[in-house]
């Protein structure tokens, strides 16, 4: 190894859903020492690349073969198993895990259920969307709706929506107007050209009034005049973009916000063009949604119990676990990335955990097989928050010992198939 270290160019960071694929990762002595181009969130996501590499069954270190056998026994004996696709795995591993859920007749879910309101809104109404690069090319008016991406999606504005030059934005940031809509404590970016302030209880009415204005109707409400003006300007521009955070927030947004945003963005495509950009977290969460959709027809909360996939969007893993109907679980991915309610429910269920840091998961004693992190130790495919697929070039692929999640999940699937 050279003193300069091994460099992996064009690595993809899954620290958030931006999935920036311009990272150069430098590895020295089997440890990541630098992630060039990465933001602070990305640098901490890559970390030093050192992860546990243990294989445990009922708390004891065992050979992999035994762990796989114990896992198959545990899951095979379950009356009602749950398969949960946690973050930090490749889509190849997600596909293999869904196959196991199908074989077991299991319940199946992912963190996408955390944003069920938004998913259901798009299933009811549709969606006016664009890939992030298209926002970069076209947007002339960008409205950040109760979100400042610099916190959870640090490079969103520098790579996509605001700063860069686009085909129809020759002067980058100067070619665009940026509006921050502050909803209670959820503020838009400080650098916005204009601001509108709304109380949380006003938000959904404001979105409704904006849609009415776009459709040529006025509410006559003096309180909503500001947002109606904004809506009319959006309708008169060339290409407006509304950016919102689709992930759960604190405080939780109005449950009807998603649908109101979807409806407004759709309506703006009558007089003008508009896309709604829904920010999603990293770890290939979007991949779980897409893989579930192409294999089962539904993006989340699938139940294979009848022998085919059924959609239970008002339920999902947290509800199934709270009802204590699950008697064994398979978690594929990072247990540290589980939603709190799911993690809490899993504490009472014997679990097979296959993923980064599995051996450290606080679940009831079952089987834990540590794997690498997708994009750091494991190559494959992941999806950006806008559903664009990207390759993962694992900088520690050839060096570090943890097993690839895909290999382990496939071995378990084969064991369950009796091979």
Partner 1 sequence: MTAPERLRIAGGAVYDPANGVDGVVRDVCIEDGRIVAELPKDAPRLDARGLVVMPGGVDIHAHIAGSSVNHGRRLLAEERAADPAPRPALVDPAEPARSGTGGTVPTTFTTGYRYAGLGYTTVMEAAVAPLAARQAHAELDDTPLVDAGFFMLLGNDDYLLEQIATGESRRARDYAAWLLGAAGAYAIKIVNPGGVACWKAGSRNVAGIDDPVGSSAVTPRKILEVLTDAANALKLPHPAHIHCNNLGQAGNVSTTLDTMRALAGRRAHFTHLQFHSYGGARGKAWKSAARDVIEYVNGHPELSVDVGQVMFGPATTLTADAPVEYLLHARTGRKWVNVDVELETGCGIVPYEYKEKAAVAALQWAVGLELFLLARDPWRVVLSTDHPNGGSFLAYPELVRLLMDRAYRDERLKRVNQKLLAGSALLDGLPREYSLSDIAIVTRAGPARLLGLRHKGHLGLGADADVTIYAKDANAATMFAAPRYVLKAGTIVVRDGQLRRAPAGRRLHVRPEYDAAVTQDVKRHFERFACVSFENYPVGPLADPPVGGGGA
DSSP 186: B
DSSP-based three-state secondary structure for 177: strand
| Contact criterion met (CB below 8 Å) for 366 and 74 | yes
- The single residue among 50, 52, 63, 123 that binds partner 1, judged by CB under 8 A, is 123
Task: Write out the binding residues for partner 1, residues 190-249 only, by CB under 8 A.
Answer: 238-239
Give the residue with the Cβ less far from partner 1, 76 or 313: 313
- The single residue among 252, 389, 398, 401 that binds partner 1, judged by CB under 8 A, is 389
Minimum distance of partner 1 from residue 54's CB (angstroms) = 30
Q: What residues contact 331, with CB distance under 8 A and at least 6 apart?
A: 84, 86, 338, 346, 351, 352, 353, 354, 355, 358, 361, 363
Is 144 near partner 1 (CB under 8 A)? no
- The single residue among 49, 146, 154, 166 that binds partner 1, judged by CB under 8 A, is 166
Is 136 near partner 1 (CB under 8 A)? yes
- The single residue among 43, 80, 125, 410 that binds partner 1, judged by CB under 8 A, is 125
Minimum distance of partner 1 from residue 9's CB (angstroms) = 7
- φ and ψ at 215, to 5 degrees? -80, 5
Element (H, E) at 166: none
Distance of CA 392 to the CA centre of its chain: 16
Which ranges of 145-242 does DSSP label H, i.e. alpha helix? 149-152, 156, 203-214, 225-236
Site string for partner 1, 251-290 (x = CB under 8 A): ---------------x--xx-xx-x-------------xx
Minimum distance of partner 1 from residue 392's CB (angstroms) = 9
- The closest of 154, 253, 262, 121 to 198, measured between CA atoms, is 253
Q: Is the peptide bond before 251 cis (omega within 30 degrees of 0)?
A: yes
- The single residue among 16, 17, 51, 159 that binds partner 1, judged by CB under 8 A, is 159
Minimum distance of partner 1 from residue 336's CB (angstroms) = 27
Q: How far, in Å, CA of 84 to CA of 321, rounded?
A: 11
Minimum distance of partner 1 from residue 166's CB (angstroms) = 7
DSSP 237: S
- The single residue among 151, 167, 199, 365 that binds partner 1, judged by CB under 8 A, is 167
Compute the Cα dihedral for 308, 312, 317, 320 and give only its sign. negative
CB 65: neighbour CB atoms within 10 A? 11
Beta bridge partners of 63: none
Q: How many CA atoms lie within 13 A of 402 on its CB side?
A: 29
Q: Which stretch binds partner 1 (CB under 8 A): 166-174, 197-205, 324-332, 356-364?
A: 166-174
CB 119: neighbour CB atoms within 10 A? 21
Minimum distance of partner 1 from residue 47's CB (angstroms) = 22
Structure tokens at 114: 């955390």
Task: Write out the binding residues for partner 1, residues 298-327 only, by CB under 8 A.
Answer: 298-299, 304, 306-311, 313
Distance in angstroms between the alpha carbons of the first and the last residue of the chain:
41
Is 21 near partner 1 (CB under 8 A)? yes
Minimum distance of partner 1 from residue 263's CB (angstroms) = 11
- The single residue among 14, 38, 106, 130 that binds partner 1, judged by CB under 8 A, is 130
297-320: b or e for each residue (b if 16 or more CB lie within 10 Å)?
ebbbbbbbbeeebeebbebbbbbb
Task: Write out the binding residues for partner 1, residues 50-89 only, by CB under 8 A.
Answer: none
Number of residues that bind partner 1 (CB under 8 A): 70
- The single residue among 57, 110, 113, 122 that binds partner 1, judged by CB under 8 A, is 122
Residue ranges binding partner 1 (CB under 8 A): 9-10, 12, 21-22, 91-92, 95, 99, 102-103, 122-134, 136-138, 159-160, 164-168, 238-239, 266, 269-270, 272-273, 275, 289-290, 293-299, 304, 306-311, 313, 381, 383, 387-391, 393, 417-419
């Amino acid at each position: 190894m050279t003193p300069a270290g091994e460099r992996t160019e064009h690595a993809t960071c899954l620290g958030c859903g931006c999935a920036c694929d311009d990272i150069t990762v430098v590895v020295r002595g089997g440890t990541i020492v630098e992630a060039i181009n990465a933001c602070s969130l990305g640098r901490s996501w890559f970390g030093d690349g050192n992860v546990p590499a243990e294989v445990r069954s009922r708390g004891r270190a065992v050979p992999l073969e035994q762990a796989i056998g114990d896992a198959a026994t545990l899951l095979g004996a379950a009356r009602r198993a749950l398969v949960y696709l946690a973050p930090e795995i490749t889509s190849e591993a997600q596909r293999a895990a869904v196959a196991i859920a199908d074989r077991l007749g299991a319940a199946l879910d992912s963190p996408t259920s955390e944003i069920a309101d938004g998913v259901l809104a798009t299933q009811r109404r549709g969606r006016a969307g664009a890939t992030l690069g298209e926002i970069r090319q076209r947007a002339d008016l960008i409205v950040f709706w109760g979100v400042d991406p610099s916190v959870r999606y640090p490079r969103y504005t520098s790579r996509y929506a605001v700063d860069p030059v686009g085909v129809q934005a020759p002067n980058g940031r100067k070619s665009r107007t940026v509006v921050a809509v502050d909803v209670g404590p959820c503020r838009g970016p400080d650098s916005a050209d204009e601001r509108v302030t709304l109380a949380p209880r006003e938000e959904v009415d404001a979105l409704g009034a904006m849609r009415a204005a776009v459709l040529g109707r006025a509410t006559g409400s003096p309180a909503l005049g500001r947002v109606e003006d904004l809506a009319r300007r959006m309708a008169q521009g060339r290409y407006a973009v509304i950016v919102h955070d689709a992930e759960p927030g604190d405080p939780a947004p109005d449950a009807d916000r998603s649908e109101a945003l979807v409806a407004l963005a759709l309506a703006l495509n009558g007089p003008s063009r508009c896309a709604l950009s829904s920010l999603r977290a990293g770890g290939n969460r979007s991949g779980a949604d897409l893989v579930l959709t192409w294999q089962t027809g539904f993006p989340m909360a699938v139940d294979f119990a009848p022998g085919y996939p059924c959609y239970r969007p008002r339920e999902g893993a947290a509800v199934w676990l709270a009802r204590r109907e699950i008697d064994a679980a398979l978690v594929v991915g990072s247990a540290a990335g589980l939603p709190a309610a799911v993690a809490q429910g899993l504490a009472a269920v014997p679990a097979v955990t296959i993923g980064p840091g599995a051996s450290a998961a606080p679940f009831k004693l079952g089987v834990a097989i540590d794997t690498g992190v997708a994009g750091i130790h494991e190559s494959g495919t992941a999806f950006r928050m806008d559903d664009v697929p990207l390759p993962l070039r694992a900088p520690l692929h050839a060096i570090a010992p943890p097993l690839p999640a895909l290999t382990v999940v496939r071995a378990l699937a084969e064991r369950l198939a009796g091979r």
